[in-house]
Amino acid sequence: MQHAIVTGGQWGDEGKGKIIDILSGRFDVVVRYQGGNNAGHTVVINGRKFFLHLIPSGIFHPEKICVIGNGVVLDPFSFLEEVKGLKESRIAVSPKNLCISDRAHLVMPYHKAIDQAAETLKAGKKIGTTGRGIGPAYTSKVMRSGIRAADLLSESLLVDKIKENLAYFNYLLKGYFKANVLNVDDVIEDILSVREEILPYIVNSAYLLERFRNEGKSILFEGAQASLLDIDHGTYPFVTSSSVVAGGVGPGTGFSPAHIKSVIGVFKAYLTRVGSGPFPTEQTNGIGEALRQTGSEYGTTTGRPRRCGWFDMVAARYAQIINGYTGIALTKLDVLSQFEEIPVCTGYQYKGEIIHEFPAELEVLENLKPMYTFLPGWKAPISGVDRFDMLPREAQDYVRFIEEQIRCQVLIVSTGPDRNQTVMMPGMS
C-alpha cells in the first residue's frame, strides 16, 4: 500500500477514528500530524467502544507503530491518562509502538486557562472551543515562546521556560481576562511529576519516518478535526487552530508530500457541527433531532449535542479542492434509513444570485439559502450491511450521487459503528 492521508471532509466527527482503525490494518505506521486532545475519535471493535483523543487510531493493531507528529500540540497529562486507560483495557501501548515527536509543542495548564477565560469573555460570541487549550498552545508556537517535547529533556531549561511563559500568561489572565492566575510552583511541580514518564516516548520523528520509508514501510497520516475547521480554509474564526487539510502533513510531520499519492476524505452521509459558526443546511427542528438521536450525535470530547443537518455538496466540493481527494469514505449511511426523501444541498442562493463556491465571508454564509436536490429514501434498515449490492437501490443511488457530485470515487461505505459494519468498494480490494 502506498502512503496515504485521511482527513475529515466536513466539520469533524465524520467517523475518522473508525475508518483509520480499519485502514490501519493495511499500513505499517499511523501518524497524527495536527490538532491535540480536542479530537475525539470513537473506535468500536466487536462491540467494545474505545475513545481516543491524542493517540493515533492505529493503536488497536499491536504490530503497527503510531507516531504523534510535530504538528500536534500535546497535553502531557491527557496523553498519560489516555495511555493508562488503553492499558487498563489491555491494549498494548509502550514506547515500542508509540512515539512523540521531539518538536511537538506542549499544551500547558496556562493554555487551558486562557482558552477558557477567552471563551468566557466572548460571552455571546463564543467560538465554542473544546476548552483544551489548543488555540493558545498554537499561539505560543507561532509566537516562538512555546515549550516543545524536546524541552522535557533538560529539567533546568524546562523550569526557566515555564517561569518565563507564566509571567506572560498570568499577566494576561489577571490584567486582561480578570481570571485567576496560576501558581508557578504548582505548574512546575505538575510537569516535573510527569516528565520522566513521557521521556521514553520522545523521538526525532522526521528521521524515524524517513527510515520507515526507506525500509519500504507504508505510512497512514491521520487528520483530526476537519477541512471546514482548518485555520486557513475553514469558516474562520469558527475554526480550530491547525492546518487540518492534507497539505498539513508536510509541516506537521516533516514527511515530503512528494512521497504521498492517496488522500482519502471521510464524509458523513449528512452533516454535523459542534460549537458555534455558520452551518447553512442545519436543521433546528424535528429532523435535526431525529438525526441526533439516531446518529447518537453527542461530542466524544465534551459530550455537547452536535448540531445536525443535510449533506452540503457546495462545502464537500470545496473540501475536495483543498485536499485533492483520491477517494472517499462515506459514513453513517444507516442513519438516513428513516427518511422518505433525503435533501442534499447542491447550491446556495444569496441576494437573488446562485453561488456554487463556498464563501469566505461569515455574513454570506450566515444569510444564504441552501438549494436542495431531493433524493428518494430507502426506508429499510441497512445497519451492518457489508456488500454494496445488498444495499437497497435508493441507498446505492445516494452513494453514487455523492460520488458523481464530488467527482471522486467512494472507496468505503460505513453502515454502523463497528469495524465489520463496512462496505469495501472494488477500488479498495
List the catalytic residues.
Answer: 13, 41
Asked if 127 interacts with ligand IMO (CB under 6 A), we say: yes
Contacted entry of Mg ion, ligand IMO, ligand GDP, none for residue 58, CB cut-off 5 to 8 Å set by kind: none
Asked if 300 interacts with Mg ion (CB under 5 A), we say: yes
Binding mask 295-334 for ligand IMO (x = CB under 6 A): -----x----------------------------------
For residue 378, what are the contacts with CB-CB under 8 A and spacing of at least 6?
A: 337, 391, 392, 393, 394, 395, 398
Run of H or E including 81? helix 76-88
Which one of residues 3, 18, 32, 132 is an interface residue with ligand GDP (CB under 6 A)?
18
Cα–Cα dist 290/287, whole Å: 5
Mark out the alpha helices in 271-339 (DSSP H runs): 286-294, 313-323
Asked if 44 interacts with ligand GDP (CB under 6 A), we say: yes
Asked if 55 interacts with ligand IMO (CB under 6 A), we say: no
Which one of residues 40, 56, 327, 417 is an interface residue with ligand IMO (CB under 6 A)?
40
For residue 395, what are the contacts with CB-CB under 8 A and spacing of at least 6?
A: 333, 336, 337, 378, 382
The grid coordinates of residue 31 equal 501518524
Task: Tell me the β-bridge partners of 331.
Answer: 268
Nearer to ligand IMO, 152 or 245 (CB): 245
For residue 250, what are the contacts with CB-CB under 8 A and spacing of at least 6?
A: 256, 257
- Tell me which residues in 395-424 interact with ligand GDP (CB under 6 A): 414-417
Contacted entry of ligand IMO, ligand GDP, Mg ion, none for residue 112, CB cut-off 5 to 8 Å set by kind: none
- Tell me which residues in 283-342 interact with ligand GDP (CB under 6 A): 295-296, 300, 331-332, 334-335
Grid cell 515530503 is found at 256
Asked if 13 interacts with Mg ion (CB under 5 A), we say: yes
Asked if 130 interacts with ligand IMO (CB under 6 A), we say: yes
* Cβ 230 to ligand IMO shortest distance, Å: 10
Cα–Cα dist 133/73, whole Å: 9
- Tell me which residues in 63-122 interact with ligand IMO (CB under 6 A): none
